[in-house]
Each structure stands twice: as structure tokens, then as C-alpha cells.
Amino acid sequence: MSARIPSAATLRAWCAFILLLGAGCSSSAKNSGDGGGAAGDGDGTAADASGGTLSWSAAVRIDNDHGFTASAPRMAVSSDGSIMAVWLQSEDDNSSPLTSRVYASLYTTVGWQAPVLLNPDIASHGPAYAPKIVADGRGSFFAVWSQASTAAEGARIGVYGKRYLPEAGWEAAVTTIDAEQVDAGMSATGALDIAADASGNATVVWTMSDETWAHMVIEAARYTSGTGWASGQIVTNEDAQSISGPAVAMDVAGNAMVVWGQATGASIAVQGVHAATYTVGSGWETPVVIEPVGISETHSGLAPQVVFDGQGDAVVVWCHHGLPGIYANRWSGVTGWGAATAIAGTSPTSADEGVQLAVDKQGNAIALWNQHNGSLLASRCAAGGDWGPTQLVDPGNADDSGRIAIGPDVTARAVWVQHVGTQSNIWANRYVPERGWGSSSREDSIIGEVSNNASDPQVVIDQSGTATVLWSQDKGLYATHITSH
């Protein structure tokens, strides 16, 4: 599984490829910026769908604030209300991605703690990519990322991780998760995802590729509480020319599901959405195609997302660029897969750009996506029911950075970047089942003060209904909170 460290130009191309694969791939229900010059000095209000006004807290900067760029933030919230954020931070004046390292900060009732460096020095291991974070049900967190195994020529890109324990903090040692040489000549691409269950078990999945990026597989590794990480295992049953994703989720019993888009054969034009399930005690099952054959033969199914509800059933959504639209399918541990359903955008006038997914413990799901014209749209599926009509979250100028989370009271919050002229601001909207989505005018939706470079918003909601939003802006990371009460 060795691969040569590529040139700086190639690494930059890899970064762009990873970002493309990751568009719309971070499920806010699983894992999970401020707006302007002096962050947090805006009017700090957001409209409730009932017409009332809720107040955002003053935004605070949580990164090192040493003048180097912080980017790619991700968050996870624990059952005790603590939040862990991870991100990349460059280590030179040019803010080069070739010097990126992984940092983390914990939020508790006393506020955000000082950032902690997680990964090895880039002088010995090279740059890091695509950090992800997930919480289990015991107050612990798992952080994973990809990074060159050494700084020497010929090193491969590997998958690494660390675990945070509430009583001890971050583990001292970094775990090399993909240490097993499964496929000679292949290396991790940086596209990865992680999920955990309430018992402290975790599953991480990632994409492997050869040096030509023409042969790809998905690999998975399991963490068992009390035992540690097992060796990586290839999940895909055929060599693919292109993979979109992967995304992974776990249910309350420790079973897992991974989904991805895949192209095989002589041409990468043929692509279908695949899924593979892991059952405790028996392992990974053979992958299956979960979208209609007529679609997968002619159009590209991309950026699939997966979440489990509290009953152990899974919901998957994905988008089609060739035939614009958002599709969904449900999986039951009793009956298996249902029929894939087009939930929005089956005509050429709706060029959808990625999709996000959140589900609550009762099984109610919400899909959020961006139309090609800049509109932000959503559809809700009540537990055991059908997907409802498309609803407008924002009428225009939103990009494809939208994220969504559902709280314990079944209300939801969406956040995204809104482009108005030269400004890029973080906006938010709230969903209440009895009333739908609230207004999204500039005055009642903007978080913080105006900016020209806010990006990559993330949102989580804790068990009390408090939502936390994190985003990149002006080389830093900013966070704010709002309650549903």
C-alpha cells in the first residue's frame, strides 16, 4: 500500500479532488465562522418560524489566532452537551495546505478550551487532510484524518486517529489505522468518514487509490470498546475507476452501513450508488446497488449520505447531476432495502448540487440541498412515511455549503454561506414541524457581522436544544450558540 509522496502541485490537485468528493458528504446528524471583520459584532438575531426572535451568542474565535489559516472545521456533540471541534491549521505565512496540521478544541459549560495539536509534525509526516470527528455515547470523541506517513520520498498517504476520553483527555499516541498493507501500490486519498455508537465502538471508512487515480477501493476499520482498532478490510467487491464518498453510520447495536457512488467498467460514465452493511458477529456483507437500474446506467449518483434512526433503520439520500434530482432509499433490519424514490428535481430545470441529511431518534428525516440557481431547498420525511413536498429554506445566492441538524424537540436548523455582491456571510434558518421553515431575510438570518470570506459552516444541536454553529472566516474559526427556547 505504498505510494510516492506527490509533488506540491499534485497535492494541491488532490486537495481540490478531495473537496469535490466531500461536497455534501458530512452528515450533520452524525458529525457535523462568523460573518465579518470584527466577528460577532452584528445584530446577532435569528427568526423563529413562529415569528419570535431568538438571540445568537457573541461569536468567539476558537483557533490559535497566530495569523495562519484555519480551515476545514468539523464538530461533534456528546450526550453530555460537550462539543469537540477539529480543523486544519497551516504552519507558515503563506497559509499553504502543504503545511496543514490537525487541531482540536473542546467546548464545555465554561467555554472553548485552548486548541490541542493532534497529529505528528509535518517535518516527519507531511501535511494532513480532511479531519473528521464523532462522539460516542460515553462522552468520548474519535478524531481521524489522512496524512503522509513520513516526509520521505515514496511514503504513502495513511489514515490516522486519536481518541479523547473525558477523564483523561486526548490519548498521547496517534493510531495508524490503516497500517495493514492490504493493496500494494495503493494509498489513501483523503476522502474518509467516521461514525460511533453509544457503547464506545466506532467505524472509519476511507477511499484508496493507485497513483493514477484510475483504480479505487473503499476500506473500513472497526474500533471495539475495550479492545481497540482492528485491521482495515476492503469493503468494495470490485475495482472502481471513480468513487464519490464514502459516508458511514452506526446504529445503537453497533452495526454499520457505508454508502458511496461508484463508476466501473471501461468508462467512468456508468455510476451507481452502492451500500454495504456490517453486522456485529458476522462482518461486512456484499455491497448492493440501491438506486434504480435505469438511472444508474445512464446518470451519476453522487455524494450519498446515510444516517440511522433510533429504531435501527437507515435513511440514504444522494443527488444526480446527469438527471438533476435528489433521491432517497430506506433500509430496515427486518425487510431490507425499499424502493429508491425521487424526492425532488426530476426535470432539467433543477440542477441540484449535493445533499445533506439529518434524522432524529424517532426516524423523522430532513434532506437539504442547493439548487443550481442558488436556492436552498429541503424535504421532510416523517418516520415510516413518504417524503413531503419541497420547501424553500432560502430563495437565492446560497452556495453548496449548507448543513442541517435536528434537535431533541424535532426542530431543525440549517446554516449556509450566502453570497451578496462581494460579501460571503453565514446565514441560518429554523424548521418547526407545525409551521415549517422561517423567514430568511438578511436582517433576521445573518450570523455575526458582514464579511467577504466566511465559509464552511457546521452546525450541531445538543440534548437541551442549543445549537452551535462553527465556521471559517478571515483565517480564523468562530463559533456561536442559540437555544430553541
Whole domain around residue 257: which residue ranges? Answer: 8-482
pLDDT score for 469 = 95
Look at residue 262 and tell me if it is in a domain: yes
Residue 107 forms part of a structural domain: yes
Helix, strand, coil share of the chain (percent; to 5): 5, 45, 45
Answer whether residue 1 is part of any domain. no
Q: Would you call 434 helix, strand, or coil by DSSP?
A: coil
Most confident of 54-58, 270-274, 281-285, 396-400: 281-285
Cα–Cα distance measured from residue 341 to residue 326, given in angstroms and rounded to the nearest whole number: 8
Per-residue pLDDT of 323-379, as tens digits, reads: 668 889 999 989 999 998 888 765 443 444 578 999 988 889 999 988 777 788 999
Taking the C-alpha atoms of 270, 24, 134 and 147 in order, what is their torsion angle to the nearest 10 degrees?
Answer: 70
Domain total of the chain: 1
The helix/strand/coil state of 392 is: strand
Residue 349 sits in a domain of what CATH number? 2.130.10.120
Structural contact between residues 418 and 406, judged by C-beta atoms closer than 8 angstroms: no
Q: Which pLDDT does position 308 carry in this prediction?
A: 94
- Among candidates 418, 404, 409, 411, which has minimal Cα distance to 448? 418
Q: Cα(first)–Cα(last) distance of the chain, in Å?
A: 52
Residue 109 maps to a domain: yes
Residue 39 falls inside a structural domain = yes
Residue 2 lies in a domain: no
Summarize pLDDT for 299-323 with one digit per residue, the tens: 667 789 999 988 889 999 998 766 6
Would you say residue 15 lies in a domain? Answer: yes
More confident residue, 262 or 71: 71
Residue 358 lies in a domain: yes
Q: What is the pLDDT of residues 172-215, one digit of tens each?
A: 888 888 754 445 567 777 789 999 999 999 999 998 887 776 77
The share of the chain scoring above pLDDT 90, in percent, equals: 41
Give the pLDDT of residue 64: 85
Query: What are the counts of helices (DSSP H) followed by strands (DSSP E) for the chain?
Result: 4, 40
Count of alpha carbons within 13 Å of 454, Cβ hemisphere only? 35
Find the angle CA(62)-CA(65)-CA(67) to the nearest 5 degrees: 145
Task: State whether the Cα torsion 107-108-109-111 is positive or negative.
Answer: negative
